[in-house]
Amino acid sequence: MRTEEEVKRKIEEIIDEYIQPSVEMHGGRVSLHEFNDGIATIFMSGACSGCAMSSLTLHAGIENMLKYYIPEVIAVKGIEDENSTVNPYYQ
């Protein structure tokens, strides 16, 4: 079994390598906020903050990928950047 620090590093690797490049194409940014008791809390900023599709991205994309590669992850929840000034909708 991996330590919590090892799991955090693996989550950050998956985000950096697979997830961030996709959300970045739409002006978004995601990062690991914390990992406790199997729950990864993802900080969503830029265009991800306030976007109607962010919930789908979080659960169908990020959560499924993290659970697949990291068995210690049992759920994912998101928190949005309340200070974001990015309009999450195309103009």
Query: Which pLDDT value is given to residue 51?
Result: 74
Pairing type for strands 28-36 and 39-46 reads antiparallel
Complete domains list, the chain, with CATH = 4-80 (3.30.300.130)
More confident position, 80 or 52: 80
Q: Judge whether residue 20 has pLDDT over 80.
A: yes
CA distance 73 to 66: 7
Q: Judge whether residue 35 has pLDDT over 90.
A: yes
